[in-house]
Structures are given as structure tokens and as C-alpha cells.
Structure 1
């Protein structure tokens, strides 16, 4: 496992590991079900585990994605999971996974050491997960984050309205991430996962929403205005020397950036398109805000005082991740 398990500080290595983990863990889950169905469980399964003790640091965002993969594996097998050598985990790794509710999410028992994480200036909220777009659950997370802040900063958080962005991400996941005609490599768990953290020293709030759906680049060609833009996009790709297949994963960074541009300029978009600009507005309302979207292989970043940036990575995130970092 990466010693620095973080999608910001160690993006490429973390994405590469997550891709391998997803294939291994979900592949084993499917194999378990196949052997159970054919009554061949006496055949020895492939043994092995991922050694979390090799991690020196894990971010709340990376922990969310990690837990969602194991959550999907649990949904495939219907079996509870367990940790290995938890006493050897680094304190920061153990405390982060405990705080976000890693054990509860997967119906694991926590070790005695993990029952009470030590006091910290970084307070992480437990995961919330669901399938429906329920505003009440999103609102409770915003309220919980605000309650952790001193009064002036709590008011600034409410003014930034992260609820609007979080709800749009959850709504998009529910409405668009898991189409009925999608072809899944592994059985889908049609959920969204949500968490947040408060850094009391920095006056900073981080909020993250993740789903394991088809991604923005895959859904973009189905948007109402796509037909008018497709020829223009192909000409742009030809000029830049990129693959002219708009749906190619090598164009994902551009695809997300295009989706953000459409969401800002068009007024009669379906809800999926409107919601993307709502996400940017959350970051704009903070003293200093940063919105980061990772979807399939692409990335889009909007940050106060900087031009929007996009990038494409070799390995996919396995869905869509939306992260706000708000300095209040």
C-alpha cells in the first residue's frame, strides 16, 4: 500500500493502488459467490490481505474511497469482513479510519485501541451512505460540521452553503450514476458515500461525496445539449492531437471541464448539468475555496484566485469523487 495514501499529496500512486485494490477485492468477492453457487467452497480460496500497517498517513477522502470498495465487496458476498494486525497500524491511520466509521460501515469490530481516538484539531465525521437523494441526511452532516466550529466560523460555513453542493452530488449519483443499461465489470452497489472534516487550527472544512457510478465523461454524451457541441469538441481534439474519440478515457479531464463550462453557460439543462455549477458556487462563497472533481480518469479543479485546471490520469478513480476544501 502507498505509505502516503492521499489523492492530493500522492495522486498517481494512490489511484494506481485503488485500481488494483478494486480489481483484486471485487474479483475475489465474485469468485467467492461463484464457488458458493457451484458448491465448490471446499476449494481453497486465494489467501492474502492488504497490510494497512505499511501506511504512514491516510486522508479522510482516500479513506472514504477505500471503505466504499470494501463496502461493495461486502454487498456482493453478504459476508462480514475483518481487519488484520490492527494493533500494528500507525496511530494516524487507525484514528482516521476509526473516526470515519470504517469498522461500523463494514460491520467490523473495532479493536480496543480504536475505541477512543485521542483529541485532535482535525475532527472527522463518520461516513453517511445511501441510495436515495435525501436532503435531511445531507443537512445533518452540515449541521454537525458547523457545531464543531466556533460561532463566527460556523456562520461562515452556513453562508458558504455546502449543503447545496453536497445535495447536488448526492442527487446526481441517485439520478445519473447508475443507469439501468450500464455494463458493470462487477456487481454494482448503487450507493453514494459522504463524509466531512473540520480542521480547528486552520479554520478549514473538507466535505467529500463519492459514488462508484459510470462517471461524468461517460454520461456527458447523453446530455441534452451534447449534439450541438460534439462536432466542435472533435475539432478541438484534432487540433490538440488528442484522441478524436470523445468518449476515450484519455480525454476525461477535458470532458469534465467541458461539462463544467456547459453547466455555467446553459440555463435549460437537465438537473445533472445545473448541479455541477452549484458545486462551484459553494467554493466561490468561501473566503478561499477549492472544488476538486475526479471522475473516471479525469480531474477538474476550481480554486479561488486561480484559473480552472483539468488533468487526465492513467488510472481511474472508479466513479465520481467531489471534494470541497473551504477556508472560512
Structure 2
């Protein structure tokens, strides 16, 4: 996602359009007739990718779970023997096949493999699972110590910021007045990896909700935020979503939630504050067609593409 942003978001938008057609027509994914072999209505070829990031895998799992839930049908796998071993292994470790209903779900979502501990993709619809997610993330934090150079108190603060961000997702990603282009199932998805070899903790959070560029302009803002947006927004954008990166950058720098309550909307700035204390680490947020990164050196960079991610994706890498 971070190294091939334009093509990745374009692929995911095309995938979403295709699955949405299937959902809209309510036609079975596999046509079965007596005396004939089953026929696929259509499929996406996964035999050609040679690698996949955790972030892309999370968005992919979310899209296929949406289709499975709305059609009440498990998407079939095609030419599985031709899939790249690395891609298959990554998806299997993250629990992709469990999310889409192909294999049974395991009870423990934390998987150990030597110096790497992975929290499988957790799909949730409300705040009830936050305690379960928080417990899994704490396991990853404990796994990092004592070999990690990140102090335990800093890891706790990072997890607190992530919990706040997740609370914002559960409370505000799917408002009642939100009319999405593509139907959603009101869920969010979380995955994380702790790697002792390079002392890193990476967390990925995704939702298919209303997105930051849609909600942020509606919120009452402090004068400094208005001044910032006034200086940076393009008054005549050359394509849809061109200003999306600016809105994401403002949300990361100044915070804010849809309700504009003082105790809400602190998730992203709090995560950035923790990264500052660590002295290294990165936060990247994608939302609709925009993206913004806070690099380890403290610099912000942002931009946009003429395609939509269909939600908001946050990648926190504490190294």
C-alpha cells in the first residue's frame, strides 16, 4: 500500500466494483446444474501476485467478508495450487481464509513463529470486541519486551492511543445519515505483528465507513485549523479526492471527532505523540482517495489519487 499506492487503491476499487455488482444482482458466485460441473460467474486471479502487505491483506479480507455476508455464500478459491507460496502463507497466517469462511476460525488469534508474533485479522461490528483486541495487542507488547528497546510505558501509551482510535471507528465510522456508494456491513478489521528481530510493532486498522475527508469538513474547528485548511486546500481541484490528503493531514495534526467532544478524536494525535517519544516510528493513514504519512523524522507528507479505498486504513509502525 505504501510503496505502490496508486495501483493498489485502483485495484481495490475495481475489486469492490466487481463484488458490488455480484451483491446487487444477488446471483450465486457458483452456478450449479445437475449433471454438469460447477461454473464460476467470475473471479479474480490471485495466481500472479508475488507479494502482499499486511495492510492490503486486511482490506482484501474486508472486501470478501462483505461479499460473503451479503450473499450468504462462501467465495470459492480458484487454482490455489498456482498461488505464490509467500502470498498464500501470508494470507493463511493472517487468517484470511477464516475471515471469508473457507476454513474454521481458531480460538486464539495470536500466532507465534520464532521471533515473530502475529495477531490474526480480527473482524468486529461493535465495541464488545475491543477488550479482546486490546488483550491480543497487549500480548504483542509483552512479546516485545525485554528484547525491545521500546520502554513498556511507551508501548502501553501506544496501545491506549490505538484503543481510542478503535473507539472512534466503532462510534463514528458508520453514522445513520451515511449513504455509501457501495453497501457495507458495519464492521472494522484489525491485525498486528510484533517482530523481535528488528524490534518493531506494526498495527493495521481498517473500516469501510464514511472516511475522514467526508466527516472532517463538517466538524466545527478551532481558528488555527480553519487557517491551515484555508492555506492548503485546492479551491479548484483537478480531480475528485485531490484534497483528501489535506483533510487527513489536518486530522492527524489536530485531531477531532465527528461529535467534536474534547475527550474524543485524540487517537491519531496521541499515536503521533507516542511515536515522538519513541524517537522513531511511522503513522500512515489512507482514507477515501487520500493519504498522509508522519515519518520517523517528524515530517508530514500527503497526497491523493483519483481512486477510492472505500474506507479508512491506518498503519502504525513503532520501530
Asked if the contact 1:263–1:269 (Cα under 8 Å) also holds between the matched residues in 2, the reply is no
2:18 paired residue among 15, 18, 24: 24
**1:226 and 1:22, CA in 2 relative to 1: closer, same or farther beyond 3 A?**
farther
**1:71 and 1:157, CA in 2 relative to 1: closer, same or farther beyond 3 A?**
farther
Determine whether 1:100 maps to 2:94: yes
CA offsets 1:143-189 (integer angstroms, 9 cap, x no match): 23134435232863652333122212211111211111111222211
Asked if the contact 1:138–1:166 (Cα under 8 Å) also holds between the matched residues in 2, the reply is no
When structure 1 is superposed on structure 2, of 158-167 and 301-310 the one drifting more is: 158-167
1:196 paired residue among 169, 192, 195: 192
1:136 paired residue among 131, 140, 143: 131
Query: Where is the helix percentage greater, Structure 1 or Structure 2?
Result: 1
Q: How does 1:219-234 map to 2 (within 5 A)?
A: 219-225=215-221, 233-234=229-230
| Structure 2: unaligned runs, 5 residues or longer | 105-110
Alpha-carbon separation, structure 2, partners of 1:28 and 1:154: 49
SS in 2 for 1:57: coil
Partner residue in 1 for 2:108: none
Partner residue in 1 for 2:175: 179
Q: How does 1:282-301 map to 2 (within 5 A)?
A: 282-301=274-293
**CA-atom RMSD, angstroms?**
3.1
Asked if the contact 1:298–1:313 (Cα under 8 Å) also holds between the matched residues in 2, the reply is yes
Determine whether 1:145 maps to 2:175: no
**1:74 and 1:255, CA in 2 relative to 1: closer, same or farther beyond 3 A?**
same
Asked if the contact 2:165–2:265 (Cα under 8 Å) also holds between the matched residues in 1, the reply is no
2:255 paired residue among 247, 259, 263: 263
Q: How does 1:27-42 map to 2 (within 5 A)?
A: 27-32=21-26
Runs of 4+ aligned residues of structure 1 deviating over 6 Å after TM superposition are none
Alpha-carbon separation, structure 1, partners of 2:287 and 2:184: 17
SS in 1 for 2:26: helix
SS in 2 for 1:299: strand
SS in 2 for 1:96: helix
Alpha-carbon separation, structure 2, partners of 1:211 and 1:93: 23
Determine whether 1:323 maps to 2:283: no
C-alpha deviation, 1:128, in angstroms: 1.1
Partner residue in 2 for 1:78: 72
**1:121 and 1:181, CA in 2 relative to 1: closer, same or farther beyond 3 A?**
same
Alpha-carbon separation, structure 1, partners of 2:89 and 2:114: 10
2:41 paired residue among 44, 47, 66: 47
When structure 1 is superposed on structure 2, of 69-78 and 281-290 the one drifting more is: 281-290
TM-score, normalisation: structure 2: 0.83
**1:326 and 1:228, CA in 2 relative to 1: closer, same or farther beyond 3 A?**
closer
> How many pairs were matched up?
302
Partner residue in 2 for 1:159: 154
| Structure 1: unaligned runs, 5 residues or longer | 1-6, 111-116
**1:30 and 1:300, CA in 2 relative to 1: closer, same or farther beyond 3 A?**
same
